[in-house]
Amino acid sequence: MANHKSAIKRDRQSKVRRLRNRMIKARMKTAIRKIEEALVAGAEEQAQDALKSAIPIIQRTASKGTIHKKKASRKISRLSRRVNQMMPIS
Protein backbone atom coordinates (compact mmCIF):
# COMPACT_ATOMS: atom_id res chain seq x y z
CA MET A 1 0.00 0.00 0.00
CA ALA A 2 1.15 3.53 -0.75
CA ASN A 3 2.63 5.53 2.12
CA HIS A 4 3.36 8.97 0.68
CA LYS A 5 0.61 11.51 0.21
CA SER A 6 1.30 11.78 -3.53
CA ALA A 7 1.34 7.98 -3.92
CA ILE A 8 -2.01 7.70 -2.17
CA LYS A 9 -3.47 10.28 -4.53
CA ARG A 10 -1.95 8.51 -7.53
CA ASP A 11 -3.54 5.22 -6.39
CA ARG A 12 -6.91 6.93 -6.00
CA GLN A 13 -6.66 8.50 -9.46
CA SER A 14 -5.66 5.24 -11.13
CA LYS A 15 -8.67 3.44 -9.62
CA VAL A 16 -11.04 6.09 -10.93
CA ARG A 17 -9.43 6.02 -14.39
CA ARG A 18 -9.49 2.24 -14.52
CA LEU A 19 -13.22 2.15 -13.78
CA ARG A 20 -13.90 4.91 -16.31
CA ASN A 21 -11.89 3.11 -19.00
CA ARG A 22 -13.71 -0.16 -18.27
CA MET A 23 -17.07 1.57 -18.67
CA ILE A 24 -16.09 3.23 -21.94
CA LYS A 25 -14.58 0.03 -23.34
CA ALA A 26 -17.66 -1.99 -22.34
CA ARG A 27 -19.88 0.46 -24.23
CA MET A 28 -17.69 0.05 -27.32
CA LYS A 29 -17.71 -3.76 -27.09
CA THR A 30 -21.50 -3.79 -26.79
CA ALA A 31 -21.82 -1.67 -29.94
CA ILE A 32 -19.48 -4.03 -31.80
CA ARG A 33 -21.39 -7.07 -30.51
CA LYS A 34 -24.63 -5.65 -31.96
CA ILE A 35 -22.98 -5.49 -35.38
CA GLU A 36 -21.69 -9.04 -35.04
CA GLU A 37 -25.13 -10.34 -34.08
CA ALA A 38 -26.74 -8.59 -37.05
CA LEU A 39 -24.12 -10.06 -39.38
CA VAL A 40 -24.70 -13.58 -38.06
CA ALA A 41 -28.47 -13.16 -38.35
CA GLY A 42 -28.10 -11.86 -41.92
CA ALA A 43 -30.02 -8.65 -41.18
CA GLU A 44 -28.49 -6.11 -43.57
CA GLU A 45 -30.53 -3.12 -42.44
CA GLN A 46 -29.89 -3.85 -38.78
CA ALA A 47 -26.16 -4.24 -39.44
CA GLN A 48 -26.05 -0.88 -41.22
CA ASP A 49 -27.86 0.85 -38.36
CA ALA A 50 -25.63 -0.79 -35.77
CA LEU A 51 -22.52 0.29 -37.69
CA LYS A 52 -23.74 3.89 -37.92
CA SER A 53 -24.26 4.02 -34.17
CA ALA A 54 -21.01 2.14 -33.37
CA ILE A 55 -18.63 4.35 -35.37
CA PRO A 56 -19.02 7.45 -33.13
CA ILE A 57 -18.77 5.29 -30.00
CA ILE A 58 -15.49 3.75 -31.21
CA GLN A 59 -14.12 7.17 -32.16
CA ARG A 60 -15.11 8.58 -28.77
CA THR A 61 -13.36 5.71 -27.04
CA ALA A 62 -10.16 6.58 -28.90
CA SER A 63 -10.48 10.31 -28.26
CA LYS A 64 -10.64 9.66 -24.51
CA GLY A 65 -7.41 7.66 -24.73
CA THR A 66 -8.93 4.34 -23.70
CA ILE A 67 -7.79 2.75 -26.96
CA HIS A 68 -5.26 3.96 -29.52
CA LYS A 69 -6.48 6.07 -32.46
CA LYS A 70 -5.14 3.60 -35.00
CA LYS A 71 -6.84 0.70 -33.25
CA ALA A 72 -10.13 2.58 -33.50
CA SER A 73 -9.56 3.22 -37.20
CA ARG A 74 -8.71 -0.44 -37.76
CA LYS A 75 -11.86 -1.61 -35.97
CA ILE A 76 -14.07 0.80 -37.92
CA SER A 77 -12.45 -0.21 -41.20
CA ARG A 78 -12.83 -3.94 -40.61
CA LEU A 79 -16.42 -3.67 -39.41
CA SER A 80 -17.34 -1.44 -42.35
CA ARG A 81 -15.78 -3.88 -44.78
CA ARG A 82 -17.70 -6.80 -43.29
CA VAL A 83 -21.00 -4.92 -43.41
CA ASN A 84 -20.38 -3.71 -46.97
CA GLN A 85 -19.51 -7.22 -48.18
CA MET A 86 -22.84 -8.36 -46.80
CA MET A 87 -24.70 -5.82 -48.92
CA PRO A 88 -25.71 -7.02 -52.42
CA ILE A 89 -24.08 -5.26 -55.36
CA SER A 90 -26.70 -3.32 -57.28
Q: Tell me, what's the pLDDT at 89? A: 63
* pTM confidence score: 0.87
- Domain 5-86: what homologous superfamily? Ribosomal protein S20 (1.20.58.110)
So where are the chain's domains?
5-86
Average pLDDT of the residues in 16-22: 97
pLDDT tens readout for residues 25-72 = 999 999 999 999 999 998 999 999 999 999 999 999 999 999 999 999
Q: Rounded distance, CA 16 to CA 26, Å?
A: 15
